[in-house]
Amino acid sequence: MFGNNGSVVVGYDLSNEYAQISYTENGAEPGKTISLTPGTEQYNIPVCLFKRSEVNQWFVGQEAVNYSEVEEGEMVGELWERALVGDNVSVVGEEFDPLALLALYIRRSLVLLTSEVKKERIKGIMFTVPNLTKRALEVLEIVTDTLEIGDAQICFQGREESIYYYIAHQPADLWQHDVEVYDYNENGITAFRFHRNKMTKPLVAFVDRKEYEAVGGYNGSEAEAEVMDNRFSDVVKDSLAGHIVSCAYLLGTGFEGDWCKDSLRELCRNRRAFRGNNLYSRGACYAMQDNLTTKLDKRNMIFLGKGKLRANVGMNVMRGREESYLALLDGGENWFDSKKTVDFLLGEGNSFVITITPLDGKNVRNVEVVLDGLGDHEPGTVRIQLEVLMESEDTIRINATDMGFGAFRMATHQLFTQKIQIKTDMEQVKE
């Protein structure tokens, strides 16, 4: 994929407050993050729009903030949450679709990228959001359909997965044990813990999260700094308790200012700590790069976060005279993305077997799918169209349709449906 051809992959971090855009050229690391002011680390692009009164003129991001201070009009924020809710938004007396507003923001914000790299060089964009729910995926698919970026591949993931990809691309000694990531924003502190189970094959990686209240708002006073420092020390002690942690990362505007002294000493005891605020977008960039190049060997390590399918689903089939395994759904993928349709010839009887293999390799199950009412037939004279998809995080739906066998047996198009519950001990695997 990459060579001396000027290829670019992009990581786009989107939240309710800000967006960030990182990109990599020709697979080079560590890549670059777009800054609002060249030469600085002002990576946060405000997620807002400003519409001038009486004219159809919109401003985006920092320009929206600037124009709102000198022009008549209305500022619109919380674009991500508004899009998730879906209710129309009133702006200067007009009603607008929140998905259209978010799409406008994303298109305009990407101008910051295309002013540095040509659009035709972009081979892929990975969008990362705080929580990749089914609704979030629907919103992202709709708004990104409006992007005019040629044949570039567009993918989506949650922030936990971006943390996974970022850490997995750092030197191995930094994640020899667990890794802690602290994100301090206006909603409080979120502590993420990256950890792995080394007893499984492939190795399974997790990113857990724990929420804490804000420890204060630094105002420059020594008294407030001391209070915040003590409170964050308590957060550090609580989040690290019972874990061996190799390193930690501090993210977010809440860590700005020189207030976390004692807490940093606590955090840096026997481990390294880093400050920065572009981890999510860079992690998304690494993920997109790996999607296109398979640089990170997914056979050796799988990320298993919330919303991921926790088992492999397949079936044994005959290919000629040899039996082989046909993979249907892959563990580690988003459950709401997991779907496959295949055709096969039914053997003897009116049933077939689906194999469910948890990623820990334990408690493998063979589940018989019975086609009640199919009728008598000779082996190999019924073509079954099989659709396998996830109905929820732990429920597989099997749709099997009788497609006949050409002129030898007419298709009835009879549909057989069966649901299978996935039962795993993956919570125990995390221990």
Taking only the tens place, the pLDDT of each residue in 323-357 is 999 999 998 888 888 999 999 999 989 999 999 99
Pairing of strands 395-402, 383-392: antiparallel
Annotation: CATH topology of 162-281: Nucleotidyltransferase; domain 5 (3.30.420)
What's the pLDDT at 428? 44
Taking only the tens place, the pLDDT of each residue in 105-120 is 999 999 999 999 999 9
Q: Which two tokens stand for residue 18?
A: 């800000």
- Burial track 287-318 (b if 16+ CB lie within 10 A, e otherwise): bbbbbbeeebeeeebbbbbbbbbbbbbbbeee
Annotation: CATH topology of 311-429: Substrate Binding Domain Of DNAk; Chain A, domain 1 (2.60.34)
Q: What is the pTM of this model?
A: 0.86
pLDDT exceeds cutoff 70 at 4: no
Give the residues across from 270 on adjacent strands.
Answer: none
| Burial class of residue 10 (count of CB atoms within 10 Å of its CB; 0-12, 13-18, 19+) | buried
What band does 427 get if pLDDT is binned at 50, 70 and 90?
A: very low
8-158: CATH superfamily: ATPase, nucleotide binding domain (3.30.420.40)
Peptide bond into 30 cis (omega under 30): yes
pLDDT exceeds cutoff 60 at 298: no
pLDDT exceeds cutoff 70 at 429: no
Taking only the tens place, the pLDDT of each residue in 205-241 is 999 999 999 998 888 899 999 999 999 999 999 999 9
What band does 299 get if pLDDT is binned at 50, 70 and 90?
A: low
| Domain extent listing, the chain | 8-158, 162-281, 311-429
162-281 matches 8-158 in CATH topology: yes
Taking only the tens place, the pLDDT of each residue in 142-198 is 999 999 888 899 999 999 999 999 999 999 999 999 999 999 998 899 999 999 988
Summary mean pLDDT of the chain: 91
Give the residues across from 291 on adjacent strands.
Answer: none
Give the pLDDT mean for 250-272: 92
What's the pLDDT at 5? 59
Q: Range with the lowest mean pLDDT among 74-83, 133-142, 302-311, 337-346?
A: 302-311
Beta carbons of 126 and 156 less than 8 angstroms apart: yes
pLDDT exceeds cutoff 50 at 431: no
pLDDT exceeds cutoff 80 at 3: no
What's the pLDDT at 295? 56
